[in-house]
């Protein structure tokens, strides 16, 4: 098999990269180790920044997003006795959309299978070779058990944290990793309950952080800060709703309850791997970086990565100019660190550590954001997504 760009991983990063390249006439093949059903069922992020919505619209995937997604003009910051709205259009002229990563993936797969380039599910034994040459190869076994070799001009590793691409990049002498594991986790639920709020609520509480989000006008997505050692079986539905009611308590307002259809405990960490390139192998998305979900940056960072990478690869493969691929890692990592910082800022401002001194610092910061327009604007600009060239 031969193609211009071999893409490993059919999450949003790999599928969007394939779409961007295809629209520019670049041949590509996408390899995915999981089944289509598994990929389309993964529950992930749900907040899309302005640039992500614009990018999906530009590649012809905005119709269902705008029909079924929920546009949001701000968030609420809450601490005991106060719930304050940050108005994003007023502060920075942008909005965000609630549209689950699962739905983004479904839209991308449907477009790919509707006359798009090859998308191979259930592959195994992926091995990258010759990435330091102009003719890298991907060895794999297809879904029928047949060994295959994909010859490429470029390989894109969009295969997540556990994929085979990043270790190959890290074998280079300059490879480096930064990691921080946070001492708390999120217990997340999906519930058949109409949201009791028009915007997301980020709530600081002495018992721990809570987030009120939604997936549709009939489905709520809610989170509780818990210890990472907590077991989901120890949390009955009644216990979950009671804790949510406590942490979102506000005079004259009540939480909407309903049947919990999914619940899980999500660890929280930051991870950055550099560089994001070795020879003709390029990393994007979770293969290179992970952020805690508090800043709603994971999916949006992946979209930013592949937007930069697609432009760079088109120039390399059509004009034989390497300036953009040579600068790709540095340009992508500049945004990665900005988003990593914002995710850390939101996480550290809202999660209880058990230290009362830290608690007073957090409350001081929350009061500052809620009372200062410059502080609120800084949060709004980062939350809605800085321009790709920023």
**Catalytic residue IDs:** 72, 202, 293, 297, 383
Give Cβ neighbours of residue 354 (< 8 Å, ≥ 6 apart).
none
Rg for the chain, CA atoms, rounded: 21
What is the distance between the alpha carbons of residues 248 and 81, in angstroms, rounded to a whole number?
10
DSSP 163: S
Helix (H, G, I), strand (E, B) or coil at 62: coil
Contact 211, 293 (CB under 8 A): no
Q: Which residues of 113-144 are buried (b: 16+ CB within 10 A; e: fewer)?
A: eeebbebbbbbeebebebbeeeebbbebebee
What is the distance between the alpha carbons of residues 364 and 378, in angstroms, rounded to a whole number?
16
| Beta-strand relationship, 154-157 and 70-72 | unpaired
DSSP assignment string, 80-98: TTEEEEEEHHHHHS--EEE
């Amino acid at each position: 098999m031969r193609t211009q760009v071999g893409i490993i991983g059919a999450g949003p990063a790999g599928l969007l990269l394939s779409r961007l390249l295809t629209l520019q006439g670049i041949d590509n093949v996408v390899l995915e180790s999981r089944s289509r059903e598994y990929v389309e069922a993964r529950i992930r992020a749900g907040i899309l920044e302005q640039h992500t919505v614009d990018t999906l619209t530009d590649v012809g995937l905005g119709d269902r997003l705008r029909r079924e997604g929920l546009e949001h003009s701000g968030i609420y910051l809450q601490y005991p006795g106060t719930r304050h709205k940050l108005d994003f259009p007023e502060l920075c002229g942008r909005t965000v959309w609630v549209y689950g990563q699962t739905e983004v993936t479904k839209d991308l797969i449907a477009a790919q299978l509707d006359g798009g380039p090859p998308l191979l599910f259930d592959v195994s034994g992926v091995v990258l070779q010759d990435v330091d040459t102009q003719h890298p190869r991907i060895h794999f076994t297809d879904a029928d058990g047949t060994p295959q070799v994909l010859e490429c001009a470029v390989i894109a590793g969009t295969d997540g944290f556990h994929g085979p691409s990043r270790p190959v990049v890290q074998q280079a002498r300059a490879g480096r990793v930064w990691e921080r594991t946070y001492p708390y986790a999120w217990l997340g639920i999906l519930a058949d309950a109409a949201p009791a709020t028009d915007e997301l609520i980020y709530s600081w509480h002495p018992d721990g952080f809570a987030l009120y989000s939604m997936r549709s006008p009939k489905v709520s997505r809610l989170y509780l800060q818990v210890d990472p050692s907590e077991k989901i079986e120890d949390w009955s539905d009644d216990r979950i709703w009671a804790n949510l009611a406590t942490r979102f308590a506000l005079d004259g307002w009540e939480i909407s309850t309903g049947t919990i259809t999914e619940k899980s405990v999500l660890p929280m960490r930051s991870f950055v791997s550099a560089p994001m390139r070795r020879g003709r192998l390029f990393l994007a998305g979770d293969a290179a970086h992970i952020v805690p979900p508090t800043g709603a940056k994971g999916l949006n960072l992946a979209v930013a990565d592949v937007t930069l990478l697609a432009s760079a690869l088109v120039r390399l493969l059509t004009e034989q100019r390497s300036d953009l691929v040579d600068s790709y890692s540095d340009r992508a990592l500049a945004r990665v660190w900005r988003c990593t910082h914002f995710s850390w800022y939101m996480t550290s401002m809202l999660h209880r550590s058990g230290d009362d001194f830290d608690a007073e610092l957090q409350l001081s910061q929350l009061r500052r954001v809620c009372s200062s327009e410059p502080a609120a604007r800084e949060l709004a600009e980062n939350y809605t997504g800085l321009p790709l060239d920023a």
